[in-house]
Structure formats: C-alpha cells, structure tokens
C-alpha cells in the first residue's frame, strides 16, 4: 500500500487532530476535529497530514527542518495553517476575497478579551437593514419575492443578515472585523434556501415549507463565534505565528525568485467549472462583490480552467506532447462538446500552470520540492491526464518528477455517466 495512505509519523499534526487521524490524506476526512476547519466546510480540501508528509520528506532530503513554504492557491488555508503548526513560515496566495479573509482570520493571533469586547459591541449596535438594496449588485433571486417565486432569503432574514454585516463593518479593529465577517459567511449559507452541492448550489428539499426563523441568524452566528474563540484559545501556541498572505491572481503574484523550501498546493482542475460559483452566496451577502463588474473581474483573475466568462485563451507554446495529442482529440469531437471553447480552455489552463511552475522553479531553493494535488478531466470521451501533462511541462522547466501517487477516483460529470473514472493524483517534483 502506498505511503500516502498510511502516513502517521508527524506527531505535531496528530496533536492537532487531538489524537485522531483521518484514514487517508486525499480528502478532508476528519477535519471537523482539526483546528479552525469547522469555520467553513470544504469537501474537497486535502487533509493536513499531507503537509506533514511534505515537510518531513523535504526536511529529510535537506538534512534540516523546513524553514518556509508557499501555496499559490490558498483555498481553505490548510497549507499555511499546517505550516505554522510545523514551524515553517507560510506564504499563501488567494484570489477569492472571501477565502483570503478566511485564511488570514485563521492565521492571525488575537487578544481574546479584546475580541469579546468587540463582539459585545457588535451585538449591542445591531440593527436590521431596511434599505431597498440589501445586497448591492446581487441577482434578484437572493431576496424574496425573487424570480418566479424562487429566492434564497426571506425579507426578514435578508434584513437581519445585512444588518449584521453593516454592524460588523463598523468594528474599528481590522482583524476582528475580518473574523466576524468570515463567521457571518457560512451562517448566511446555512440559513438560506439552498445548499452547495458539487459544482454549484441547489434548493433544499421542500424549502418552501421549511423556511428558517429570523432568530436563527443570531443563534447560528453566536455558535460560530463560540467555536472560533475555542479554536483561537486552544491553538494559540503554534510554532510559527507569522505569515505572508498575497491577495490576487496567482499567475501574477507567484514569486519568480526567493528561497522557499517547499510548495504545497492544489490548483483548480481543468473541468470547465468556475469555482467562484461555489462561494457566490458568501461573496454577495458579505459584500465582497458589489456588481457584475466585480464578479467578472474576479472570474478573470482565476486560472483559465472554466468557460463561464468570455476571455482570451491565447497562450505561449506549452512543452507537452501529451497536451498536443489531447488538444487534437478535443478538436475532433468539438461538435459534441457542451461549449465550443473547451479545447482552447484546456490548452490555456496548462499555459497558466506552466507560468506558475516556471515561477516556482525560480523561487524554490536548489533541491526544493513541489507537492501538487491535481485531478484529471474528461470531455466527450477524451481523457485529459493532468498529472502526466504537468509532469512533462515541469521536466521542461527544470524539475525532476519524484512521484505521482493516485489519491482517489473522482466521478465524471453526469453527462459522462457519473462513473468513478477520473484520477486525482499527488504529483511530487524537485527543483534541479
């Protein structure tokens, strides 16, 4: 059995999990037990043991502890937070403003007394919002009456959520304001008429008859704050308390020089889906988006892994024979694809990943490692072997491939039958 499924050697991470470890590292199984992970559920996040494995293997290769770590796609912040626990200085990049705030809220150190004072102030000055526009720029489906009788929030709940957001934005302490905003985000989703499922959201079963109560908003928010205080106090003594968070496009912000020991990350997969949609509720309710222009701008700052927004798919030459074959096969079945730009999108995606890997090669120290969790895609019967293509690209840039270990099988889209036939892989590279 592969080491990736049996790894159990990093005592610090075991302590972090309070003595209980997930069965494997490919998903976030067991993460409700992990520090800060209950703040927002991330079904696809990898378990923190992966960072423990990467740190230990890299340290063994260097003959010294890992000093620092970089993650160009911060997501839920697992890499950066685990790096703090393991004593490495984390640098993380995140384009989604809500996720960037979530990461920074987790990495920040707090004075619990001052935090409690600001929480009390927030509740004391809370007033429901009775303005005409509660979530500026949001689709008309957000607040009743919605569109065609469908809506995410009743008017009363929308007013309470908007009022709570307004009260939060009056908090003077920026770190506290960020934390409260982050805690409001999952409350807004849990109190809505929809659930996030797979690559989008759907209405809850019998949602018309199962409307939430306005009082539930503060009940859930209070519970979220209590859990946050518990995590903040329990896990305040981390080995390294510093961090470097860069907000924006990883293609631009990934450094091309530096002295990083290891990069650990999972980029978006080339599955023609814009992951911005997963966080649509939180982004609008908490005021991270204020109109179609800001929504489009955010979409254009993500990797070209999707076709949800019209964009330029031009790309420089990508060093991969496999990609050329796959692109040719996609062109042959172009009329069967659900979107005409998918062949160009796939090529552009690997062009973007080539940019990321090229910059990482310049910023990693000699012998430094990169651990990538990546997944295959499939269109009209054409398989896109992402790990193999990235392996070729990495080799042309000066990396050696140390391993490519399968994590799990993912389901294809319903259009492809929904079978477990797409491989998710841990690709390990070393700068030479």
The pLDDT tens digits for 259-301 are 999 999 999 999 888 888 889 999 999 999 999 999 999 999 9
How does pLDDT run across 129-176, given as a tens digit for each residue? 999 999 999 999 999 999 999 999 999 999 999 999 999 999 999 999
pLDDT at res. 408:
64
**Percent over 90 (pLDDT), the chain:** 80
Higher pLDDT, 360 or 19: 360
Residue 332 — very low, low, confident or very high, per pLDDT cuts 50/70/90? very high
Q: Given a cut of 70, is residue 253 above it in pLDDT? A: yes
Q: Average pLDDT of 77-81?
A: 95
d(CA 347, CA 389): 11
Same domain for 311 and 412?
yes
Supply 330's token pair: 């996609």
Same domain for 428 and 322?
yes
Contacts within 8 Å (CB) and 24+ apart, 256-259: 256/358, 256/359, 256/362, 256/363, 257/362, 257/363, 258/70, 258/362, 258/363, 258/364, 259/67, 259/68, 259/363, 259/365
d(CA 380, CA 154): 41
Q: Given a cut of 70, is residue 396 above it in pLDDT? A: yes
**Has residue 13 been placed in a domain?**
no
**Has residue 417 been placed in a domain?**
yes
d(CA 236, CA 223): 20
Q: Are 159 and 129 in contact (CB under 8 A)?
A: yes
**Has residue 298 been placed in a domain?**
no
Domain boundary among 188, 215, 242: 215
**Has residue 173 been placed in a domain?**
yes
State the DSSP code for 269: P
Domain boundary among 194, 215, 236: 215
Query: Where do the H-state alpha helices sit in 38-192?
Result: 49-62, 78-86, 97-107, 112-124, 155-168, 174-190
pLDDT at res. 199:
64
Q: Compute how many other C-beta atoms are within 10 angstroms of the C-beta atom of residue 111.
A: 12
Q: What does the longest C-alpha to C-alpha distance in the chain come to?
A: 64
**Has residue 249 been placed in a domain?**
no
Q: Average pLDDT of 35-61?
A: 86
Helices 174-190/112-124 angle, 10° precision: 60
Count the domains in the chain: 2
d(CA 232, CA 110): 7
Residue 46 — very low, low, confident or very high, per pLDDT cuts 50/70/90? confident
How does pLDDT run across 121-140, given as a tens digit for each residue? 999 999 999 999 999 999 99
pLDDT at res. 14:
41
pLDDT at res. 33:
55
d(CA 318, CA 320): 6
Query: Mean of the per-residue pLDDT values for the chain?
Result: 89
The predicted model scores a pTM of: 0.90
State the DSSP code for 431: E
**Has residue 135 been placed in a domain?**
yes
**Percent over 70 (pLDDT), the chain:** 88
CA–CA–CA angle 207, 213, 215 (5° rounding): 155
Q: Average pLDDT of 392-419?
A: 75
Nearest to 276 by CA among 291, 296, 249, 293: 296
Q: Given a cut of 60, is residue 409 above it in pLDDT? A: no
Task: Name residue, tokens 């709570």.
Answer: 164
pLDDT at res. 422:
83
Same domain for 312 and 207?
no
Helices 78-86/49-62 angle, 10° precision: 50
d(CA 421, CA 385): 12
How does pLDDT run across 337-375, given as a tens digit for each residue? 999 999 999 999 999 999 999 999 999 999 999 999 999
For 324-337, letters b (16+ CB in 10 Å) and e give eebbebbeeeeeeb
Query: Where do the H-state alpha helices sit in 242-366?
Result: 250-253, 280-285, 292-300, 321-332, 342-363
Q: Given a cut of 80, is residue 18 above it in pLDDT? A: no
State the DSSP code for 144: T
pLDDT at res. 44:
63
d(CA 216, CA 191): 8
pLDDT at res. 421:
66
Q: Are 95 and 298 in contact (CB under 8 A)?
A: yes
Same domain for 316 and 428?
yes
Q: Compute how many other C-beta atoms are within 10 angstroms of the C-beta atom of residue 29.
A: 14
Domain that holds residue 407: 267-272+307-432
pLDDT at res. 23:
39
Edge-first strand listing for the sheet containing 89-94 = 244-247, 89-94, 68-71, 260-265, 364-375, 420-431, 399-411
Residue 198 — very low, low, confident or very high, per pLDDT cuts 50/70/90? low
Q: Are 194 and 281 in contact (CB under 8 A)?
A: yes
pLDDT at res. 413:
47
Q: What are phi and psi of 403, to 5 degrees?
A: -165, 150
Q: Given a cut of 70, is residue 307 above it in pLDDT? A: yes
Nearest to 358 by CA among 263, 423, 293: 263
Q: Compute how many other C-beta atoms are within 10 angstroms of the C-beta atom of residue 173.
A: 15
pLDDT at res. 28:
44
**Has residue 355 been placed in a domain?**
yes
pLDDT at res. 98:
97
Residue 245 — very low, low, confident or very high, per pLDDT cuts 50/70/90? very high
Q: Given a cut of 60, is residue 212 above it in pLDDT? A: yes
**Has residue 66 been placed in a domain?**
no
């Amino acid at each position: 059995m592969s080491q990736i499924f049996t790894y159990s050697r990093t005592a610090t991470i075991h302590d972090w999990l309070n003595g209980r470890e997930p069965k494997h590292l490919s998903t976030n199984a067991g993460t409700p037990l992990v520090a800060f992970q209950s703040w927002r559920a991330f079904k696809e996040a990898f378990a923190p043991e992966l960072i423990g494995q990467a740190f230990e293997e890299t340290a063994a290769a260097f003959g010294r502890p890992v000093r620092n770590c970089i993650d160009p796609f911060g997501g839920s912040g697992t890499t950066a937070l685990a790096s703090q626990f393991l004593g490495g200085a984390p640098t993380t990049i995140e384009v989604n403003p809500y996720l960037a705030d979530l990461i920074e809220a987790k990495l920040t150190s707090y004075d619990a007394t001052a935090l409690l004072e600001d929480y009390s102030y927030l509740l004391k000055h809370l007033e429901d919002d009775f303005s005409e526009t509660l979530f500026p720029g949001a689709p008309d489906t957000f607040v009743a009456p919605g569109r065609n009788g469908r809506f995410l929030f009743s008017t009363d709940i929308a007013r309470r959520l908007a009022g709570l957001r307004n009260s939060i934005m009056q908090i003077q302490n920026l770190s506290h304001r960020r934390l409260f905003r982050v805690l409001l985000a999952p409350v807004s989703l849990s109190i809505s008429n929809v659930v996030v499922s797979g690559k989008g959201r759907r209405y809850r079963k019998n949602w018309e008859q199962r409307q939430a109560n306005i009082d539930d908003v503060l009940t859930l928010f209070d519970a979220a704050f209590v859990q946050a205080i518990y995590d903040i106090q329990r896990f305040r003594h981390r080995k390294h308390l510093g961090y470097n968070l860069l907000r924006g496009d990883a293609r631009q912000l990934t450094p091309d020089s530096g002295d990083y020991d290891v990069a650990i990350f999972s980029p978006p997969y080339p599955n023609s889906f814009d992951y911005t949609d997963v966080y649509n509720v939180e982004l609008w309710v908490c005021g991270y988006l204020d109109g179609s222009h800001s929504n489009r701008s955010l979409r254009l700052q993500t990797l070209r892994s999707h076709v949800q927004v019209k964009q330029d798919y031009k790309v420089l030459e990508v060093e991969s024979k496999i990609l050329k074959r796959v692109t040719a096969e996609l062109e042959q079945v172009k009329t069967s694809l659900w979107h005409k730009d998918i062949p160009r999108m796939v090529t552009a995606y690997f062009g973007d990943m080539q940019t990321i890997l090229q910059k990482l090669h310049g910023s990693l120290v000699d012998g430094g490692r990169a651990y990538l969790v990546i997944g295959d895609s499939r269109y009209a019967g054409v398989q896109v072997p992402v790990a193999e293509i990235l392996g070729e690209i990495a080799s042309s840039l000066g990396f050696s491939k140390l391993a490519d270990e399968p994590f799990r099988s993912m389901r294809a889209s319903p259009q492809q039958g929904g079978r477990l036939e797409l491989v998710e892989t841990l690709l390990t590279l070393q700068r030479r």
